[in-house]
A and B are shown apart, each in its own frame.
Chain A
Amino acid sequence: MASEARPRLAVYKFASCDGCQLALLNLEDELLSLVGEVEIAYFLEASSATLPGPYDVALVEGSVTTAEDVERIRGIRKDAKYLITIGACATTGGIQALRNWKDVDEFIRLVYARPEYIHTLKDSTPISSHVAVDFELNGCPINKAQALEVLTALLQGRAPHLPPHAVCVECKRHGTVCVTVAQGIACLGPLTHAGCGALCPAFNRGCYGCFGPMADPNPDSLTAHLLDIGVPRGHIIRLLRGFTGYADTFRAASEKLEKVAQ
């Protein structure tokens, strides 16, 4: 893609907290060289000045939660050569996918004084449920170095290097002591895609699974072991139903635990 004309980049937001877009803006040191290499044509979080499509690359944050979202993502797909989803919401449905296990109409009746103003879908779904996605960048939020790697790879016409192994590998490379083995803390690290640098275990917390499932996870073994060492079933279900709880692996694992409990 490296040519005289800079590739045109667009950044979109769906149901999300904007944290992944902020991670892009947090590139700080690299931001100037980035605008030297790509033309940021549409990025409302950064600038209200926008340029019309089509775009070479669309980065999409957030999940699909309304009928309007469904239409909008189709338009974005048509307008973009490469569509890359960024973050847990866009790649798995996000924390708001907790609604997928509940009755949304009941929430609306309980929460809003005028429920008739609220128009929403019953579930929160990843972008890939609606349109073809060229690449998914995991994380809640995304790791800015990984975001830069994806853009660099795209500019250089190579595959991005984002190893799909467990968070455990990052803990061990940093010398972090395993919180499950040494403290009995429930941790999703052995199931979770690396990328965050194993942040939480370095602060004596279990992994919350923000980066979604790793390649070939084995959730049945981990959940059986956590039950064995006395972690309450409800706690494991809640842990699995975090920021990427609707990702296939975590979803199947939490539903299995729930079924056994009933």
Chain B
Amino acid sequence: MSPSLPRVSASVAMPKASLQQVFDNLRAAGYMLVGPTVRDGAIVLEEVDGLDDLPLGWTDEQRPGHYRLTKTRDNHYFDYGVGPHSWKEFLHPSRLPLFSVEKNNGNWTIRPAQEPPPRYAFVGVRACDLAAIAIQDRVLIGSEFRDPHYAARREQVFVLAVNCSQANSTCFCASMKTGPKATGGFDLALTELPDIFLAEIGSEAGSEALGDVPWEAATAFDLGRASRVIQRAERQNGRQMQTDDLPDLLYENLEHPRWDEVATRCLSCANCTLVCPTCFCTTVEDVGNLRGTSAERIRIADSCFNRDFSHVHGGNIRPSIRSRYRQWLTHKLASWIDQFGTSGCVGCGRCITWCPVGIEITEEVNAIRAKAAK
């Protein structure tokens, strides 16, 4: 038993079972734990109680439009890639009541929805998702126009990152320079080895989460093993996104025939935007009573692929699937850079895996580049 807590930026080795102690510490500190668990044929993100809820011994196989869970021979907790859910569901919920109004004696009373958000501890955040959270930070709280709902959740979140030990065919974090190693933005970052977790301490809160955990300073041997795990994940990145000619490549090819071609395959179903960890668009719905004396306003996730999204006074500015797909891709990879100073893509591959017909963002950019207008 170590008498003291490790210092920030230290790397320590801990027995795997003692991750439960970390969970207990976090819960005692008032956090609600959200992490990976197996449900309906996928590894999803939900409230977890303990180690038993984690996907021990499970991995996933991902291809464009294809995801399957399989059992592995290794008993690892985190031997899988990112799944259908992302952390934005907790920081930027897809359904959020904003306020209600009620009319009494001719006067309207407005009541903000004041449910305080939970203090989340995120368990198993991958490097690409850390990058995605950093992008949403810029978009939603990085300017003078701050989303108070995002801020309230974000400010108190505890991030327990996990370095990827494997990558999928749909992963391209290495080429987006977002992973597979978590390099910042976490309180604790684990690398899973067969016998131990190697933990990098990212903050005071991360150090305190190791209270009563029997840790030891990491040896050079352990550090070497961890580094090889991450290198393997990097090599396994199934695809690449070439970014050196972006955003101009897309701006110069707004009439490229590829947009027509992809529009024959795109379903405009919005799945890509809803699984994307950086897409942030919302709309509001007002639900009123029959007499028009009370109503509630609810913010819900929206998508540029929904036809109504681009309906403005006088008509629809993106009436075709072609125009909507082009809007999404050029915003994600090009105008996002002009708007927010960063690409909107982190290379997590979710849009590729969860597109019902397997459209690949990397392939679409390659096709435009192959016959680009000079």
* B-side interface size class: 35 or more
Q: Is the beta-carbon distance between B65 and A225 smaller than 8 angstroms? A: yes
- Give Cα distance in the complex from A161 to B302, angstroms: 14
Stretch of A13-21, A42-50, A134-142, A173-181 lying at the B interface: A173-181
- Give Cα distance in the complex from A221 to B359, angstroms: 11
* A-side interface size class: 35 or more
Q: Is the beta-carbon distance between A168 and B39 smaller than 8 angstroms? A: no
Contact mask for chain A residues 106-128; partner B; CB cutoff 8 A; 1 contact, 0 none: 00000000000000000000000
- Give Cα distance in the complex from A138 to B267, angstroms: 21
Q: Is the beta-carbon distance between B290 and A178 smaller than 8 angstroms? A: no
Considering only residues 265-288 of chain B, those with a C-beta below 8 Å from chain A are: 265-271, 274-275, 285-288
Q: Is the beta-carbon distance between B270 and A168 smaller than 8 angstroms? A: yes
Q: What residues of B have a CB within 8 angstroms of the CB of A215 in the complex?
A: 307-308
Q: Is the beta-carbon distance between B308 and A172 smaller than 8 angstroms? A: no
- Give Cα distance in the complex from A177 to B275, angstroms: 10
Q: Is the beta-carbon distance between B267 and A218 smaller than 8 angstroms? A: yes
Q: What residues of B have a CB within 8 angstroms of the CB of A2 in the complex?
A: 292
Q: Known A163-B306, A169-B303; judge A221-B265 contact (CB<8 A).
A: yes
Considering only residues 159-197 of chain A, those with a C-beta below 8 Å from chain B are: 161, 163-166, 168-169, 172-173, 175-183, 187, 189-191
Q: What residues of B have a CB within 8 angstroms of the CB of A165 in the complex?
A: 270, 303, 305-308
Q: What residues of A have a CB within 8 angstroms of the CB of B358 in the complex?
A: 225
Considering only residues 205-236 of chain A, those with a C-beta below 8 Å from chain B are: 215-218, 220-222, 224-225, 229
Q: Is the beta-carbon distance between A221 and B270 smaller than 8 angstroms? A: no
Q: What residues of A have a CB within 8 angstroms of the CB of B289 in the complex?
A: 33, 152
- B314 on the interface (CB 8 Å rule)? no
Rounded to whole Å, the gap between the CB of A27 and the closest CB of chain B is 10
Which residue of chain A has the shortest Cβ distance to B45 in the bound complex?
A175
Q: Is the beta-carbon distance between A155 and B290 smaller than 8 angstroms? A: yes
- Kindly identify which residue among A164, A177, A216, A217 contacts B44, using a CB–CB cutoff of 8 Å: A177
Rounded to whole Å, the gap between the CB of A6 and the closest CB of chain B is 11
- Give Cα distance in the complex from A216 to B308, angstroms: 11
Q: What residues of A have a CB within 8 angstroms of the CB of B264 in the complex?
A: 218, 220-221
Which residue of chain A has the shortest Cβ distance to B275 in the bound complex?
A172
Q: What residues of B have a CB within 8 angstroms of the CB of A168 in the complex?
A: 269-271, 274, 356
Q: Is the beta-carbon distance between A156 and B292 smaller than 8 angstroms? A: yes
- B84 on the interface (CB 8 Å rule)? yes
- Give Cα distance in the complex from A190 to B359, angstroms: 14
Q: What residues of B have a CB within 8 angstroms of the CB of A183 in the complex?
A: 41
- A80 on the interface (CB 8 Å rule)? no
Considering only residues 237-275 of chain B, those with a C-beta below 8 Å from chain A are: 264-271, 274-275
Q: Is the beta-carbon distance between B270 and A225 smaller than 8 angstroms? A: no
Which residue of chain B has the shortest Cβ distance to A30 in the bound complex?
B290
Q: Known A178-B84, A181-B67; judge A172-B357 contact (CB<8 A).
A: no
Which residue of chain A has the shortest Cβ distance to B41 in the bound complex?
A182
Which residue of chain B has the shortest Cβ distance to A161 in the bound complex?
B285
- A148 on the interface (CB 8 Å rule)? yes
- A69 on the interface (CB 8 Å rule)? no
A residues bordering B, Cβ < 8 Å? 2, 30, 33-34, 36-37, 148-149, 151-152, 155-156, 161, 163-166, 168-169, 172-173, 175-183, 187, 189-191, 204, 215-218, 220-222, 224-225, 229
Beyond known contacts A166-B269, A215-B308, A217-B267: 16 more, CB 8 A cutoff: A33-B291, A163-B306, A164-B308, A177-B42, A180-B356, A181-B353, A182-B68, A189-B356, A190-B267, A190-B271, A204-B40, A216-B321, A218-B321, A221-B357, A222-B356, A222-B357
